[in-house]
Structure 1
Amino acid sequence: MRRSSAREKAFQILFQLDMNDVDPDQAIKDYIETLEVDEYLQTLVQGVAKNKIQIDDVIVHHLENWSIERIASVERTTLRIAIYEINYLEDVPTSVSINEAVELANKFGDEKSGKFINGVLSKIIA
């Protein structure tokens, strides 16, 4: 599975985790139709779930006139994945994380989601 596909599937799982209190391992099993789980997908879901408090702190410290609760789930989940990749995964270039996050936001969010994601991530890496 390509990383962009793994990111998209991880986004969908993490979006569900944001809505429901479910164990990350169980959420992966419930979502994946095959017996083989992609390693990168699992890394993203587990990593974001494990480090959610620290990741959310990063988001909160870079928001202007927003609270994390006001951010729509699509954008919040997208930011969490990108920040996890930027802060915890050394083999993913920052520019790739940002680009992929903007793509996810454009696909699953509204017309302003990509710009919002790009703006917040630009402040984080500055």
Structure 2
Amino acid sequence: MKRHDARQKAVQVLFQLDSTDLPLEEAMEHVLEDQSSDAFFEQLVRGTIEQKEQIDATLSDKLENWTLSRLPKIERTVLRLAVYELLFTPDTPNRVVLNEAIELCKVFGDEKSSKFVNGVLSKFTEQ
């Protein structure tokens, strides 16, 4: 599975988990259908879930005039995944994480979603 596909599927799993009481394994099976899992996909999903508390705290500090609970679910899901990658996968360049997050918003959200996510994530890469 390509990394882009793994990110798309990870967003779908994380979105499902944010919306339902589905167990993690079941959500992953549902999204993967008959496709085999992938180490990067598993790392993204499990890592984002395991680090959710720290991710949310870090994200909350970067949001201006917003709270996580007020964000539309797709933006919140994409932001959590991207912040997980920014904080916990140093082998992935920041610009790749930002570009992928923007593309995920274009697929699952709209133009406003991608601009909003880009604005929030750019705060993570400013030095």
- Mark yes or no: TM-score above 0.5: yes
SS at match of 2:45: helix
How many residues in Structure 1 have an aligned counterpart in Structure 2? 126
Structure 2 portions without partners, runs of 5+: none
Aligned pairs for 1:1-126 within 5 A: 1-34=1-34, 36-126=36-126
Asked if the contact 1:48–1:81 (Cα under 8 Å) also holds between the matched residues in 2, the reply is yes
1:16–1:125 CA distance, 2 compared to 1 (3 A): same
Q: Deviations over 1:16-70 (max 9, x none)?
A: 0111133323321232223621111111110011111110111100011111111
1:106 is displaced (CA, Å) by 1.3
Query: 1 CA distance for matches of 2:30 and 2:74?
Result: 20
Q: Which AA in structure 2 matches 1:43?
A: Q
Query: 2 CA distance for matches of 1:44 and 1:74?
Result: 16
Report the TM-score, using the length of structure 2 for normalisation: 0.93
Query: 2 CA distance for matches of 1:38 and 1:62?
Result: 31
Q: Deviations over 1:66-102 (max 9, x none)?
A: 1111110100000011111110012111110000000
Query: 2 CA distance for matches of 1:3 and 1:107?
Result: 15
Query: 2 CA distance for matches of 1:125 and 1:25?
Result: 33
Segment of structure 1 superposing worse, 32-41 or 57-66:
32-41
Identity of aligned residues (%): 46
Structure 1 portions without partners, runs of 5+: none
Segment of structure 1 superposing worse, 31-40 or 15-24:
31-40
Q: Which AA in structure 2 matches 1:10?
A: A
